[in-house]
Structure 1
Amino acid sequence: MSSSERVLDGLPTARACPFDPPAELGKLREERPVTKMNYPDGSVGWLVTDYALVREMFTHPAFSSRHDLRSFPVHMPLPPSKAVPGLFIGMDPPDHTRYRKPLNRAFTVRRVRELEPTIERIVAERLDAMEAEGAPLDLMESFALPVPVRVISELLGAGREVAAELQRLRVAVLSPQTPEEEAMAAGKATGELMYELVRGKRRAPADDLLSELVADGELNDQELAGMMLLMLIAGHETTAQLFGLSTYLLLERDDLRQAIVSEPVTDVTANEFLRYLSIAPFIVRTALIDAEVGGVHISAGETVTLSLAEANRDPRRFGDPDTFDGVRGDNSHLAFGHGIHQCIGHNLARTELRIGLPAMLRRFPELRLAVPREEIRTREAMQVYGVHRLPVSW
């Protein structure tokens, strides 16, 4: 049987180290970087692990981002559905372009720089709350989740109550343990919550991004609700896990911790956290037509999973890729994707990390894990990697 005919029995997700990709992915990258793979829904598709090929596929015209076309490499409570208006992450141009374009101005380097005082205030408030609560506590619940939720909520104009309810509903939607009926109900409630947020801004506009979009008049309420749902989810879920896993790494590595505390954290350092940890471990594309990738024929309709975690550790692109290098130059990682679908909030995520991490470690110089390392459970077979809880003390 040729290498192209061998079928991988599902996406490897088990990790020997919480900060490194599954070892099996590295072997696949070296031996057969385009691998035929079984998917949980019974379909057969592909897995790509090589940096150059993954980057190529982000801009390959034969492959679609449409959610309704894809299979998924890990279990999801809700099956793929038709495109939700405004939820442009699962769309191709021209729909993708139409929805994303109005948001571009809100996430420029200049606009994010203007948000820095707001981020600093939110970080300080959460650290005050942690100090008042006292140790031990779960860092995910007390800091890593609330900070990005508050930041994106204030940017968009959603109050704390809306953000808290959204967070509760999304746990039910995204957790692999959630029964399908319960996940569907939570998904419906999430959409209704966003729709009411939009209707509220139409009745009483304020100084926020959502009010600006309502005033533009280019999108209807259903489209705006879908966009807000995407922004609120993407604006906090990955950043929260980035905070959590980055803190876990620093608590395990005194040398990195001292560097973060003693020197200003730059975008260069933030980029290395993103490359090294790859919170979004994979992304999915579907072939619209027959195509060839890395010398392998992929048929129309087949799903391809792109391993961002393994591409970001490819030694052909990154020198000593398994070493964290806070001053790594030319760090063109794929943690935010590439091309027209590159994460719109990449400037915001880096800024939150470089403000939040050193502030936390300076406030709590004796911060440490409150449980043995083996008790820290990671989110291995999920779309966003990280930790479920991070109990800490000081």
Structure 2
Amino acid sequence: MMLRFLTLIAAFWILALPAQAQDGPLRITIDEGVIEPLPFAVPEFVAENAAAAQMAEQIARVVAADLTGTGLFREIPEDAFISKITSFSSPVEFADWRAINAQALISGAVSTGSDGRISVKFRLYDVFAGQEMGAGLQFDGTQDGWRRMAHKVSDAVYSRLTGESPYFDSRVVFVAESGTKGERRKRLAIMDYDGANVQYLTDSSNIVLAPRFSPTGDRILYTSYETGFPRIYVLDVASVGRRALENQPGSMSFSPRFSPDGQTVIYSLTQGGNTDIYRMNINGDGVQRLTNAPSIETAPSFSPDGSQIVFESDRSGNQQLYIMPSSGGEPRRISFGPGRYGTPVWSPRGDLIAFTKQSKGRFHIGVMRTDGSEERLLTASFLDEGPTWAPNGRVIMFTRETQGAGGQSSLYSVDITGRNLKRVRTETGASDPSWSPLQE
């Protein structure tokens, strides 16, 4: 019998899989957003030499935190263990792990070399079937990169247990905020998806907004007010070098996003009191106007294949969502519920569009099909806004701001079923997240 594992596609979106016979794989489907987390065990990874002892413990803890943080898995605490794993090559005593109801077991080992590099290897076992799930894997890198290797282990385990694409080995760029609400200082920062390894990319001398990753994760578009008016810049993540993109005289440019091939930028430009959507090549030439209306058109986002753009517009009298060809043309409205819709972002899978909705004095993060059907609100609060998709299209991160003069902005994440709403750890206040693709 194969591992009893989770199928993470919600019944809300896709028809549930047919029930499996007892001698086949047990698939746990999500029904109305409720699921019993799968119990798993991660014994401390084996340190194959003395220098690896601390990292072996740390890597196992990161793997456990990654999996538990999805809300789909429940870690069995170490004090419940009957067996210990003292050698990566030793046979597994499956009966001891069955006795504590561990359905999945992750064993690993870490070794360090004289050159300062480390090796991390792991195996994943189906405890009740008494067999290994797939082949063991090994990751090699520098000691400074131990967290990345832990995330890679988590990604491999997550994909094998769920059939979903991974997302742990990714980063988030965001606006780090400090100071009081009326005198907020903002600077760009980048971190691992879980809030670790923060690096600041700009200082707080100028207001910065809406950073957006390139499809390869090596560049970031953002808006800065350093000239007194909003202007778009592109920043190289590795060197932190930056340059301004061309601006038309007397205009303000903002809300930029990359095309899927990374060669084109779509953005909003205000000139003469009118705001429309434009596109240009990443080198700043080839400017093309895509909309031409007296209304405000902003927050554009490409479809994954680059053929369409979703954006917000008040051409109907209040903010609604529209889709048009990426070369311009007549847009079609896709949002029709009560309230106002904004900040649409196309899912990496191409099947859904995330958005911010304001209705009856509350803000929501929601998703809908690309034709506007099956709208589903995932959150509700005083102020939720600015969704961004995880690389696998299963999790959304967004900004939540608390009420009052002392209100603070924080990052939160939620599954597309509305489950597992949680705050993302950051050193300071935070807003405007943008999730990177998986790192190479």
Q: In which range does the TM-score fall when normalised by the shorter chain?
A: under 0.3
- Select the structure that is richer in strand: 2
TM-score, normalization by structure 1 = 0.24
Name the structure where helix makes up a greater proportion of residues. 1
Higher relative contact order (CA 8 A, sep 6+): 1
TM-score by length of 2: 0.22
